[in-house]
Structure 1
Amino acid sequence: MSGWTEEQLDGIGGTGEIRITSRGDDGELRRSRIIWVVREGDELYVRSVNGSGAAWYRGTRDHLAGHVSADGVEADVAFEDADHSLDDRIDAAYRAKYGAGSAAVDQITGPDARATTMRLVPDQS
């Protein structure tokens, strides 16, 4: 089980964009960024369209903790590297949700973005 409620999965996974924020060294939330999210089964996944060099992505790697908000749903999360055997399914989810054939979708399903795929795990504390 993923730990997400159906309401959270629908709210976060069903919206077009989410706000994602990582935690800094002091434990405080940094500045949020707007990114795309997809739902695959009962899990939520994000990628950096600009690859591992994107500031928000590097921030998530520092402490592997942060916060997401979307469609009235707020959740503290842990960031975990995704199982890359799911990359093709996650690509398909991005294409289905955001439209196949656009330059942005082509980029987020490309190798640099695929390498940054993270699973969002709800903080249960």
Structure 2
Amino acid sequence: MTNTTPAWTGGDLPQFGDAEEIEISTRRPDGALRPFVPIWVVAVDGSLYVRSYRGAEGAWYRHAIKRPAGVVRAPGRQVEVAIAAAEPGVREQVDAAYRAKYARYGATYLQPMLADQAVTATLRLDPAH
């Protein structure tokens, strides 16, 4: 997979990609941030990916699709992001990253993140440099 999106720099990729979970906020039409929502994140080939547990019905996901700009935060760091649809063909790599990182959660939480409902709501987070 070739990624032509802005690159994560310095320690931001591991700081966000290795975090157990991050928080995401999307922007309202007036530019104000919505409340932050905790979310699982995985790093694949230098990019960060998130999925909506509730699929397209998730409120944060609906807002992200409508206004694809926001902020993510991990302990000690907050970064502005551009939100984009995941590239076609990245599903297997993202699925594998979710399995490896969150396996201890088993069927209760991991399986819904691998189900079609969540997979169709996979987004890539790019730094908004």
TM-score interval, normalised by the smaller of the two chains: over 0.9
TM-score, with structure 2 as normaliser: 0.91
The correspondence for 1:60, drawn from 42, 58, 64, is 64
SS of equivalent residue, structure 1 residue 84:
coil
- Deviation at residue 84 of structure 1 after TM alignment: 2.8
Matching residue of 1:103: 108
- Deviation at residue 60 of structure 1 after TM alignment: 0.6
**Moved beyond 3 Å, runs of 4+:** none
Query: In structure 2, how many angstroms separate the alpha carbons of the residues matched to 1:81 and 1:87?
Result: 12
TM-score, with structure 1 as normaliser: 0.94
Query: In structure 1, how many angstroms separate the alpha carbons of the residues matched to 2:88 and 2:75?
Result: 28
Query: In structure 1, how many angstroms separate the alpha carbons of the residues matched to 2:111 and 2:92?
Result: 13
- Deviation at residue 74 of structure 1 after TM alignment: 1.1
Matching residue of 2:82: 78
Query: In structure 2, how many angstroms separate the alpha carbons of the residues matched to 1:18 and 1:88?
Result: 22
Matching residue of 2:122: 117
Identity %: 39
RMSD: 1.2
Matching residue of 1:89: 93
Structure 2 gaps of 5+ residues are: none
Structure 1 gaps of 5+ residues are: none
Q: Give the partner amino acid of 1:30.
A: R
Aligned residues: 124
Residues 11 and 72 in structure 1, CA contact (< 8 A), matched pair in contact too = no
Matching residue of 2:15: 11
